[in-house]
Structure 1
Amino acid sequence: MTSDANGTKVEIPRIISVDDHVMEPADLFEGRLPRKFQETAPRVHRGKITKITRVSGQDWRVDFGEDGTLGDYWMYEGVPIPLKRINASAGLPLDLRENVPVTFGDVRPGCYDMTARLADMDMNHMEASLCFPTMPRFCGQTFAEGKDKELGLACIQAYNDWMFEEWCGPSGGRLIPLGLVPLWDAELAAAEVRRNAERGFTAVAFCEIPAFLGLPSIHSGHWEPFFRACHETKTVVCMHVGSSSKMPATSKDAPAAVGISLSFNNAMASLADYIFSGLLIRYPDLKLAYSESQIGWIPYALMRMDDVWNQHRAWIGLGDSIPEPPSTYYYRQVYGCFFRDDVGIRAIEQVGVDNATFEVDYPHTDSTWPDTKQLAEEHFAHLPQDVIYKIVRGNAIKMLRLDLDTDLDDSGRPLPILGR
């Protein structure tokens, strides 16, 4: 506990992280696929890896050799997908968070084991967590890029079943299910959203900018079945940075630091896409979450979009399609997600005290585990307690429709008990 500028004690309620990651266990697909896929099912192998090279976004090339480091890797349709320390580095010194191969035995069990994850959450003042995939990539690009789409669909359904039955089911509600969909077919994607919603999923992983994956844009009308299903089931569309498999870069030979520093650009472009597409108007119950995008960019993006709407609508063809300023729809239907963002916190009123959610990013290189509570105390020391509550857990409860804090009001204060 720390004190704000007035000496008032700041309390950090138990954290609900809207962006963590799970490293899928090696037996995930065993017994979960039809018999005809027995030979082609994704499997974990172990080999000596000499080099892992980032091609673009979350696409990597793997080189093998006798002088390499022993590492585990998934094999899917002949493509190796290695376990990397950068995806399982929570708690390691910063200088050891390298892009090198690892085995399951090299990493914290909390990366892939549900019971160990809950213990790591307890160490970090966390109550609940929403986890993005690793082997399938942030929104299932691995299966979308595969040739056998029937196998891909079976793998997605198997992943969702595992997520619900084994990762989240025994956790007592502390691990929140996040579904995948077949990106290559909007009707199948809608069906999977509905299948998952019926059993309690409230969120689905999707791509920030589908066109970057070679898919139809959200302006094309192609995705209407998917968005309609999310709207009708109140399933939140969660878009992680990197879900476009393409990071912003200034040139092909720009260092990785350039793309990582600019990663929020995809989220900003995506937000403009959604707002000016009219989707948020057609589907007023559709909610979007920009995972790991940070929030400091949001006030400028909203100001610029509102200015464009006001100054240029006569010639850019908006007509009556966007009847209110773009920021209206952001504040109504969009959530930003962050782990460290002093700029965003200083502008929290413009970001929206009801639109900001908090994350831990366990077990990735950006993770604040196991010091997230201390960081939050320092980060939020100047904020009112009711705003802290909203950022740390209240907005996540609202966004994901969690059955938590039902005896508290929107400021995190106990509701009055009738008759007392």
Structure 2
Amino acid sequence: MGDQLAFGDGEQADLAAAVQLANWRAFMAPVAEDAGAVARHPEVARVALAILKVFAEHSGPHGLTRAEVVQALAGDPRGWSSDLIEHRLTVLTRLGFLEPYLLKAHQDRYVVRPAGLAGALAAERLAEHGGVDELILLLDRARVVFDRSNPDPEAALDYLVSCRNALRVFALDLQRLVATGTPTELMEAQRQHDHQGFTRQVAELNEVVTSRFSGSWALEEAASALIEAEQFYRRQVMVAADKVLAQGGGSLNFDVLTVSEYTDAAFKGDVALLSQVGTALVADAPSVWIDPAQVLETVSGFAPRSGARGRPLVMDDAEQEEEPWEWAEGAHSRLLEDRRLLADELLAGDQEVDLTALLYAAGWPAAAAIITDVLALGDEPGEPYSVVVEDALLADPAASVTYLHPLLLRRHDVSDEADGGGDDV
């Protein structure tokens, strides 16, 4: 039995990166000057796509400078160094991906050439499906030629031959992988070729040829050859899938499908087929575990309970509750002491203090609490404090305390008489 792979296995990720790089190098081979024309790591393509995004989102009417591009990518979470970005900008500029805004010497503002955008998008599609998307585009372009009012027979024949050759190339590559590839390589290829609609597109194209070019032996022959190529390609896709399932099922390799595919199968799969998934799995039954605390808790829950009534508790005379009036006197004494401390803190050693500014600064409701405490203290018999509320009225609509009478707090002997400048409380 083979080794079981886990989700997100590093080997599969490394293979995917290697396959992407191989596809990009093969993609650029027809227009490469030498074998070193394509970079050796897929990360350079991601930097180019990031540079393209910066130009699309931040470019002004006169393009961007190299420094502006480097600054825009400085906070990228992928952590590319400024040297790598500068190097990619140099290569992209020399190859014409980035063009000077003005075709003059010493121009440092650049724009993206649309052909470079098309190449970046094609590289991204190539990384995802290994070029199968281009085959779909080729079939679509062939259909456009046949849908014209007066299609050119030679152009239609060229497209039919091109589609047939492309399908043959993909089919032969799959046939080689089935014979020589590892299960991991087959799984990666299976995901790249996971496209629907090939058979329908080829069949519809053949019907158009039959209806519009009836009697043209060359076109009908090419259409039949295209159907044979599609069937050959489809057989290789199915053989690759069968081999992946057979080897993956025999080795209990759960990487045969992606996580999203397992989730989709759980929601949409047939119940009878899903019930067979775990028939070949071997798992030990979990051991029973219980700690001493759980044992004691369980035993106490099943302990018999006595039905005898217990004797009532005898209250000690020393612990009798205090009388309500004693509690009220104590509470009043504590409140009075708190008010004395507040008054002494406000006076700060003086015999008299003007509380008006303090009340404005304290704001509402702190000012109301101070006024209540000092008025109550001044009204308390035997206390050496009095409060003078003057007649003047101070109003400030913007303040927290909107209006207030000037307020004086005094400390004196009980025998002293209050001043006559206002109401002495």
Normalization by structure 1: what TM-score? 0.23
Normalization by structure 2: what TM-score? 0.23
Q: Which has the higher strand share?
A: 1
Q: Which has the larger radius of gyration?
A: 2
